Structure 1
Amino acid sequence: MTADLFQELKERGLVYQTTDEEALVKHLNEESVKLYVGFDPTADSLHIGHLLPILMLRRFQQHGHVPIALVGGGTGMIGDPSFKDQERQLNTLDTVKNWSQSIKDQLSRFIDFDNQENPAVIANNYDWFGNMSMIDFLRDVGKNFTINYMMSKESVKRRIETGISYTEFAYQLLQAYDFLKLYDNYGCLLQLGGSDQWGNITSGIELLRREREVQSFALTMPLITKADGTKFGKSEGNAVWLDPEKTTPYEFYQFWINTDDRDVIKFLKYFTFLSLDEIAAIEKEFLAAPESRVAQKALAKEVTTLVHGQASYEQAVHISQALFSGAIADLSLAEIKQGFKGVPSYTVAKEADLKLLELLVTSGLVSSKRQAREDLQNGAIYINGQRIQDVDYVLSDKDKIGEEVCVLRRGKKKYFLLHFAK
């Protein structure tokens, strides 16, 4: 299987740049290679912008190689300037430590740290940066790099005119030292990253060449762009997180099911473990009938199941079908909370009047009693998917889902949640 790995990665479009491709392929074909990806803890969860490198580690492990997930407990306190327009906010040690633990827990869902033959490794660069003195850093690392070399990196050049602090300027040296330490500790010879990491990774290769006289390798993946020009990994302006508490499985599923037709086959190759033959068959069916959205359904199923599990995928589909058909009453309270996260809501006081006409106005769903009366008479108001036209309708326990909420809808798409105080 190993002999086919690099070729498959190329066919999936996952190889953007490499150093000495011929020598790298030879290593991959002949031995179990140690490779790493760094994850700086800049939040308490990873997001789908991290998913491609995580899945790359998984692909390499499945082919017998040893993935090293490096959590940047040290570098996360500084921030990588690569292709960022402004400096990142610096975080406290305790914050970064907590985030590092969360990231470690999330990574264990994708790569196997208990595999008997080639278990994945988790490392944290705070272990070597935490007690390292400035003198040691300048003597052992800084002496190997000229200012001209560091200034030539694209990630630095982009920021020179607008301003870059020395803290961020030195980041490439920190990442270079990570590579050196992972080589010393584990024999790591390959670093993966997005194409924006090329400058940082090649600095590490240079440090290994100078300090250890060994040849190491870089492999970068393309930065993901969307056909419509919007940023990948954002849904309505918000990051799509891997933590189900931050982005529900339903929201996660919806992100993938709404993939643009122009992107969906590319994303199937990037983010799923379906074979290229299976993807080709899906593509053929999809091109014959794009309205079937067979490719989007396959993508959403594979990625949601991979990240959140089969049960969460099935629940997301159930919520989607109920919302599409209007069968809101078929959903559980937990599903309502997922499907209507972020929908405007109003809490009905314990002793409040439960006349629907009154609630439409006091909740703010409509502007006046006259408007509420017209909407009801015209059939524009729904309770849990059921049309209500009775202007004297009074809500009762049968309208409460899980004894807690009621879903109001005005027109085709304007949803509103009523919460009942206990």
Structure 2
Amino acid sequence: MTDTLSELQARDLVALSTDEQALRDALGAGPVNFYIGFDPTAPSLHMGNLVQLLFARRLQLAGHNPFALVGGATGLIGDPRMSGERTLNERDVVEGWVERIRGQIERFLDFDGAHAAQVVNNLDWTGGLSAIDFLRDVGKHFSVNRMLAKETVSARLNSEHGISFTEFSYQILQAHDFLQLYRRHGITLQHGGSDQWGNLTAGTDLVRRVERVAVHAMATPLITKADGTKFGKTESGTVWLDPELTSPYAFSQFWLNADDRDVVKYLKVFSLRPLEELEAIAEEFQAAPHRRLAQRVLAEDVTTLVHGEQQTAQAFAAAEALFGSGELAALEPGTLASVTAELPIAEFPESVLSDGLPVVDALVDSGLVTSKGAARRAIKEGGAYVNNCKVTSEDQALTAQDVLDAGRAGVVVLRRGKKTLGAARFTR
């Protein structure tokens, strides 16, 4: 077995753990059964969940046995947030999200071979548990004083929102999961984000109290951005793993736009390449940051992991075409539709093309310029483009021949200067 813990530490993936030497010995002694939990509080996993999925994959590649828990029970309640009570989702909605998330998890772990992964649902052991049995057999092991000390609970108690008994009880349910997984599958390690540390240690304490054995917990650091904005968020919102919610193009652009101050850190967390190779990439990047090698490697690696090689190739081809290094007409209609959906866009009925739509109007309506005068200046200065072709006349108009196939609608890609993009979409 490799020294798994040292590898994780070298990638800055361990913020907290229970007894480090005992954990190192356990990981070095042979296969460890471990788990990570995901609550279906949305129809898709997101960038924060990706940290844990790849953490689990690293442990599996090191010879350990992963269990992915999808919280059909805890998803009905939701882990307390600093901002206030969650809206409780209907049971059938949560059940649908359980299946969607199960499918996403299955793309990251190997479900065959000696260390085959398994997906479990905590509703299987919680759904039939009576309130009396839960309070007698599980609740009696928890000190309310200690539960109140949890950061999120303490913050909520001192806020105008307060906290319901439902969300207050969440940490008991998560701890109960660890106990059940220890009994059912011999699981002795749970990992999660450092914001979950109170819940993780509640589980290790419960197993110790009930079963008289020591089990382990590990927490990854919260990923941060150098500019102070929240990791995994863009101007348009959360970066999801579901391509219907965040297109492969937008997903790859998130990584390509990584700040120079962050990108080497992200490579260690999100790329499966050996550390020695990442160090060489980092050296080359630091010698010539303008080439953005680290960002390109990061975007290619992570987009391929999440969306596959074909979608990654299409996303990169779309980026090249948008900025004038590729052929827009060669893009698949679905790719073109998802790419232009990320741009400032003006909507028009297809009928306007019969008489021609002035490019000046399209530039204004798409938000690329603030006025027709500014549009004319951009054209006069050679800085306006239609489908990567320079606009040479202030009177130029868009016609049906300019429209590219984007599935249910046709589009024209507009550009001002080298990097400012927009689009006109024509309803059929």
In the alignment, is residue 390 of structure 1 matched against residue 403 of structure 2? no
* Residues 236-270 of structure 1, C-alpha deviations (whole Å, 9 max, x = no match): 15111111111111111111111111111111111
Partner letter of residue 129 of structure 2? Answer: M
* Residue 50 of structure 2: aligned partner: 51
Give the Cα–Cα distance (whole angstroms) in 2 for the partners of residues 173 and 13 of structure 1. Answer: 29
Q: In structure 1, the residue corresponding to 2:79 is in which secondary structure?
A: coil
Give the Cα–Cα distance (whole angstroms) in 1 for the partners of residues 270 and 201 of structure 2. Answer: 26
Partner letter of residue 132 of structure 1? Answer: L
Q: Return closer, same or farther for 1:417/1:324 CA change in 2, 3 Å cut-off.
A: closer
* Residue 348 of structure 2: aligned partner: 347
Give the Cα–Cα distance (whole angstroms) in 1 for the partners of residues 146 and 269 of structure 2. Answer: 33
- Residue 385 of structure 1 deviates from its aligned partner by 1.5
In the alignment, is residue 158 of structure 1 matched against residue 165 of structure 2? no
* Residues 359-399 of structure 1, C-alpha deviations (whole Å, 9 max, x = no match): 82698347877776666555454221112233554544431
- Residue 323 of structure 1 deviates from its aligned partner by 2.1
Q: Return closer, same or farther for 1:297/1:411 CA change in 2, 3 Å cut-off.
A: closer
* Residue 288 of structure 1: aligned partner: 287
Aligned length: 419
RMSD between aligned residues = 2.3
Quick check: 2:347–2:427 contact (8 Å CA) kept in 1? no
Give the Cα–Cα distance (whole angstroms) in 2 for the partners of residues 80 and 402 of structure 1. Answer: 44
Listed as ranges, the matches of 1:168-317 within 5 Å are 168-317=167-316
Q: Return closer, same or farther for 1:238/1:135 CA change in 2, 3 Å cut-off.
A: same
Q: Return closer, same or farther for 1:205/1:339 CA change in 2, 3 Å cut-off.
A: same
* Residues 51-87 of structure 1, C-alpha deviations (whole Å, 9 max, x = no match): 1110111111112211010001110111111x53212
Quick check: 1:73–1:126 contact (8 Å CA) kept in 2? yes
- Residue 347 of structure 1 deviates from its aligned partner by 2.6
Question: Normalising to structure 2: TM-score of the pair?
Answer: 0.91
Q: Return closer, same or farther for 1:374/1:272 CA change in 2, 3 Å cut-off.
A: closer
* Residue 148 of structure 1: aligned partner: 145
Q: Return closer, same or farther for 1:3/1:395 CA change in 2, 3 Å cut-off.
A: closer
The answer to which of 392-401 and 263-272 deviates more is 392-401
Partner letter of residue 346 of structure 2? Answer: S
The gaps in structure 1 that reach 5 residues or longer are none
Listed as ranges, the matches of 1:311-390 within 5 Å are 311-325=310-324, 327=326, 329-332=328-331, 333-343=333-343, 344-350=345-351, 353-357=354-358, 360=361, 364-365=365-366, 376-377=379-380, 379-390=382-393
Question: Normalising to structure 1: TM-score of the pair?
Answer: 0.93
Give the Cα–Cα distance (whole angstroms) in 1 for the partners of residues 353 and 395 of structure 2. Answer: 16
In the alignment, is residue 137 of structure 1 matched against residue 134 of structure 2? yes
- Residue 199 of structure 1 deviates from its aligned partner by 0.7
Quick check: 2:72–2:98 contact (8 Å CA) kept in 1? yes
Quick check: 1:376–1:391 contact (8 Å CA) kept in 2? yes
Quick check: 2:35–2:187 contact (8 Å CA) kept in 1? yes
Partner letter of residue 388 of structure 1? Answer: V
Quick check: 2:249–2:318 contact (8 Å CA) kept in 1? yes
Q: In structure 2, the residue corresponding to 1:277 is in which secondary structure?
A: helix
Quick check: 2:46–2:232 contact (8 Å CA) kept in 1? yes
Q: Select which of 409, 413, 424 maps to 1:407.
A: 413
Q: Return closer, same or farther for 1:214/1:297 CA change in 2, 3 Å cut-off.
A: same
In the alignment, is residue 84 of structure 1 matched against residue 82 of structure 2? yes
Q: Return closer, same or farther for 1:146/1:421 CA change in 2, 3 Å cut-off.
A: closer
- Residue 414 of structure 1 deviates from its aligned partner by 4.9
- Residue 14 of structure 1 deviates from its aligned partner by 0.8
Q: Return closer, same or farther for 1:28/1:308 CA change in 2, 3 Å cut-off.
A: same
Q: Return closer, same or farther for 1:361/1:112 CA change in 2, 3 Å cut-off.
A: closer
Q: Return closer, same or farther for 1:327/1:300 CA change in 2, 3 Å cut-off.
A: closer
Give the Cα–Cα distance (whole angstroms) in 1 for the partners of residues 365 and 291 of structure 2. Answer: 38
- Residue 331 of structure 1 deviates from its aligned partner by 4.2
The gaps in structure 2 that reach 5 residues or longer are none
- Residue 165 of structure 1 deviates from its aligned partner by 1.3
Quick check: 1:348–1:418 contact (8 Å CA) kept in 2? no
Give the Cα–Cα distance (whole angstroms) in 2 for the partners of residues 325 and 369 of structure 1. Answer: 24
Give the Cα–Cα distance (whole angstroms) in 2 for the partners of residues 373 and 194 of structure 1. Answer: 52
Quick check: 1:346–1:363 contact (8 Å CA) kept in 2? no
